[in-house]
Amino acid sequence: GDSVTQMEGPVTLSEEAFLTINCTYTATGYPSLFWYVQYPGEGLQLLLKATKADDKGSNKGFEATYRKETTSFHLEKGSVQVSDSAVYFCALSDNTGNQFYFGTGTSLTVIP
């Protein structure tokens, strides 16, 4: 079946460092891909999405490109801030309209 695999955390970075959080997926057909962010004590919020191959989703300085050839949707940010400390979830929706899958989440801590 369809699934999403994220890199294990936790990840700790210094402020202004470059961030990459890896996400790969397994799916039949052409799924849509998403990144969610969860700040401490809150629910998940949609960060960005991409609905077809080679699409780039972007928001708040974060980017992710839908790579069908490598079945990946890695999250990147050029310069992280302390306020980016959160848990990040990769997610997939299949092309049947029936299922939505979340990865296990990657915790990011940014230190000043």
Partner 1 sequence: NAGVTQTPKFQVLKTGQSMTLQCAQDMNHNSMYWYRQDPGMGLRLIYYSASEGTTDKGEVPNGYNVSRLNKREFSLRLESAAPSQTSVYFCASSVNRNQPQHFGDGTRLSIL
Residues 6 or more apart whose CB falls under 8 angstroms from that of 72 comprise: 22, 23, 24, 25
- 72: its two tokens: 């990946």
Site string for partner 1, 48-87 (x = CB under 8 A): -x--------------------------------------
Task: Kindly tell me which residue out of 65, 68, 76, 102 binds partner 1, with binding defined by CB under 8 A.
Answer: 102
Which residue among 1, 43, 69, 70 contacts partner 1 (CB under 8 A)?
43
Interface stretch with partner 1, choices 17-25, 56-64, 70-78, 94-102 (CB under 8 A):
94-102
Q: Which stretch binds partner 1 (CB under 8 A): 21-29, 57-65, 66-74, 90-98?
A: 90-98
Beta 11-14 vs 106-111: how paired, if at all?
Answer: parallel
Nearer to partner 1, 64 or 103 (CB): 103
Residue with tokens 């919020």: 45
CA 39 vs CA 55, 80, 88, 94: distances in Å: 26, 15, 9, 26
Distance CA 87, CA 50 (A): 20
Residues engaged in binding partner 1 (CB under 8 A): 32, 34, 41-46, 49, 89, 93-100, 102-105
